[in-house]
Amino acid sequence: MKIRTQSISRVEGAFLEIDLEISQEMLPIAFEGYVFTDQLTLKGKLVNEGKHLFRLGATLHAQIEGACARCLKPVQTDLNIEINESFVPSGHENHERVSQQMEDAQAPEESMYVYQDHIIDLEQAIRDNIVLSLPQRLVCSSQCKGLCPKCGQNLNQKQCDCSVDSPDETGQSPFDRLKELL
Ligand SMILES: [Zn+2]
Ligand SMILES: [Zn+2]
């Protein structure tokens, strides 16, 4: 995922088309609980913004698989991540940040990535964007009934004989009794 910038480094506004296929092995990181089920694609542009600053504007497409938070069935989902990141030469990151803030004090703080020797490595920026975009949890369906907490039966497939939610012999739920005690 290393991009050579020499060909666009002299002309402000010059850009490189980015059209990369990224295999899972090229992202040597464990994304907690998720695996990629296909290669990732990155499409967009790397633009010379002047003053040795390059900006990546691209869409990352990935397909991930994780376990349903309720029944643990594997669930696949697509990620389409808009990536907008800036790259500055090493040693310039603080200077660039300050000058940018002075130009527009309202601009949200933007992370800067550092490159060296006319080579921009996109890996860290891609990783960071993936981590920020991973869903908190996946469910196989909004109607998923999950697993019985007592016997582990997948309640989507069949109802078990455990009476987890049903009221006990008094006809009261445990919550009603708790209310009486309070
Ligand atoms: Zn489920
Ligand atoms: Zn059960």
CA 4 to ligand 1 center in whole angstroms: 45
Q: Which residues contact 28 (CB under 8 A, 6 or more apart)?
A: none
pLDDT of amino acid 60: 97
Angle at 93 between CA 87 and CA 99, to 5 degrees: 100
C-alpha 152 – ligand 1 centre gap (Å): 13
Distance CA 62, CA 70 (A): 23
Residue-range domain boundaries for the chain: 2-133, 145-182
Q: Which ligand is nearest to the CA of 70?
A: 1
pLDDT at 24: 78
User: Per residue in 19-50, pLDDT tens?
Assistant: 999 987 777 556 778 888 889 999 999 999 99
Q: Are 77 and 138 in contact (CB under 8 A)?
A: yes
CA of 151 to the centre of ligand 1 (A): 16
- Bridge partners, residue 43, by sequence: 19, 59
Distance, CA 52 to ligand 2 centroid (Å)?
63
Local mean pLDDT, 10-residue blocks, the chain (182 residues): 93 96 74 84 97 96 93 94 94 58 51 91 92 90 95 95 61 59 62
Predicted pLDDT at 140: 96
pLDDT score of 169: 46
Say if residues 122 and 3 touch (Cβ distance below 8 Å). yes
- For β-strands 74-89 and 112-115, DSSP reports them as parallel
d(CA 9, CA 4): 9
Residue type, 74: P
Instruction: Quote the CA–CA distance of 94 and 98 in Å, as a whole number.
Output: 6
DSSP state of 38: S
The predicted structure's pLDDT at residue 152: 94
pLDDT of residue 181: 61
**H helix or E strand, kind and range, residue 180:** helix 174-181
Which pTM was predicted?
A: 0.74
Question: What confidence score (pLDDT) does residue 107 get?
Answer: 47
